[in-house]
C-alpha cells in the first residue's frame, strides 16, 4: 500500500484534469481567472488533458449544507465563546450578523429577496436547525452529496480538479463582510476531498484594469463588496487550487508539485 502511494506521487503519467472558472455561486476576480487559464495552458503543453467540469448545485449547497451545518445551533455556541472578550474588527460585521434574533433574520430574508437570492438564503441558513431529526437529515444529505459528486467525477473520467482559489488578499476589514467566496474552498471541506493551494502568479496592472469591469454572477451587494475587497492589489500573490478524491492525498500532492514545477519552469 505504501509503495502504491509513493508510485502515485512519483508518477509522470499524464493526468485527465477537470477545471472550472467559477462554481456557479462565486465569481473569482479577473486576476484569479487569468492565473487559472495560464496554469491550464501550461498543463496542456505538458501533455495533460483538461476537460470542463461543473460542480454540482453549489448555489444550493453553500447555504443549505455548509452554513447550516457549521452553524446548526444558530451560532449560539460561537457567540457564547466570544462573549465578554475582545472582537477582532475584521470579524465584527460577521458577529453582528450572527447576533440578530432568528425572527428578524427571517423577516430581513423575506424583504431582501427582490435584491439578491444569496443574502436571504444566508440569513435563513444562519437561523440554524430546530430539531435533532433535522440534523440527521442534514448529515444524510451531506453523505448523498458526497456520493453524487464522486459519481459525477467518475462520469467525467477525471483524475484531479483544477479550480480557483480565493484571492488576492482582501483589503483591510473586508474578510468579515465578505464570506460568500468561501464556497470556492469550503466545498472540499464538506466533501472531505484533499485539496491544496499553489501560488502561481501575482496581480498585474492589466488585472486591475479588468477588475474595473467586474460585475460578478449575481451583481448583488456581495459582488460589489468583492470588487472593493480586491481593488488595489497589484503585486500580491495569486493561487490556484488542486483537488483529488478522498484517500488520494498523494495524487493531490503530485498534482500540486506538477503545477508548481511548470510555473517555476516558465518563470525561469
Q: Output the pLDDT for position 88.
A: 86
Averaged pLDDT of the chain = 91
Is residue 80 over pLDDT 80? yes
Cis peptide, bond prior to residue 168, ω within 30 of zero = yes
Is residue 3 over pLDDT 60? no
**3-class SS of residue 242:** strand
**CB contact burial 83-109 (16+ within 10 A = b; e otherwise):** eeeeeeeeeebbeebbebeeeebbebb
Return the percentage of the chain with pLDDT > 90, whole number: 62
Mean pLDDT of 53-64: 93
Q: Output the pLDDT for position 268.
A: 81
The HSE-up count of residue 79 (CA atoms within 13 Å, CB side) is: 15
The HSE-up count of residue 29 (CA atoms within 13 Å, CB side) is: 34
Q: Which of 8-12, 29-33, 178-182 has the lowest mean pLDDT?
A: 8-12
* Better-scored residue on pLDDT, 265 or 38: 38
Is residue 229 over pLDDT 80? yes
pLDDT in tens, 83-135: 888 888 888 888 888 889 988 999 998 888 888 888 888 889 988 888 889 99
pTM for the full predicted model: 0.90
In the block, which residue shows the cell 437529515?
137
Q: Which domains are seen in the chain, by residue range?
A: 2-56+132-267 (3.90.1300.10)
Confidence of residue 17 (pLDDT cuts 50, 70, 90): very high
CA torsion angle 239 8 53 212 (round to 10): 10
Amino acid at each position: 500500500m505504501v509503495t502504491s502511494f509513493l508510485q502515485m506521487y512519483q508518477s509522470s503519467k499524464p493526468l485527465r484534469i477537470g477545471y472550472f472558472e467559477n462554481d456557479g455561486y462565486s465569481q473569482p476576480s479577473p486576476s484569479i481567472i487569468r492565473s487559472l487559464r495560464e496554469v491550464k495552458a501550461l498543463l496542456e503543453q505538458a501533455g495533460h488533458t483538461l476537460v470542463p467540469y461543473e460542480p454540482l448545485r453549489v448555489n444550493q449547497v453553500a447555504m443549505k449544507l455548509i452554513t447550516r451545518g457549521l452553524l446548526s445551533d444558530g451560532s449560539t455556541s460561537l457567540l457564547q465563546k466570544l462573549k465578554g472578550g475582545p472582537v477582532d474588527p475584521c470579524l465584527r460585521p460577521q458577529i453582528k450578523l450572527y447576533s440578530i434574533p432568528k425572527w428578524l433574520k427571517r423577516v430581513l430574508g423575506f424583504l431582501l429577496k427582490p435584491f439578491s437570492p444569496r443574502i436571504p438564503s444566508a440569513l435563513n441558513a444562519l437561523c440554524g436547525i430546530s430539531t435533532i431529526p433535522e440534523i440527521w437529515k442534514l448529515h444524510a444529505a451531506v453523505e448523498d452529496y458526497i456520493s453524487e459528486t464522486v459519481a459525477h467525477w467518475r462520469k467525467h473520467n477525471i483524475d484531479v480538479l483544477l479550480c480557483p482559489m480565493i484571492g488576492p488578499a482582501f483589503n483591510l476589514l473586508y474578510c468579515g463582510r465578505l464570506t460568500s467566496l468561501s464556497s470556492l474552498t469550503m466545498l472540499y471541506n464538506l466533501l472531505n476531498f484533499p485539496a491544496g493551494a499553489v501560488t502561481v502568479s501575482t496581480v498585474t496592472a492589466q488585472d486591475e484594469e479588468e477588475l474595473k469591469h467586474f460585475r460578478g454572477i449575481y451583481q448583488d451587494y456581495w459582488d460589489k463588496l468583492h470588487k472593493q475587497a480586491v481593488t488595489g492589489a497589484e503585486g500580491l500573490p495569486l493561487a490556484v487550487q488542486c483537488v483529488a478524491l478522498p484517500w488520494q492525498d498523494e495524487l493531490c500532492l503530485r498534482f500540486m508539485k506538477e503545477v508548481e514545477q511548470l510555473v517555476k519552469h516558465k518563470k525561469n
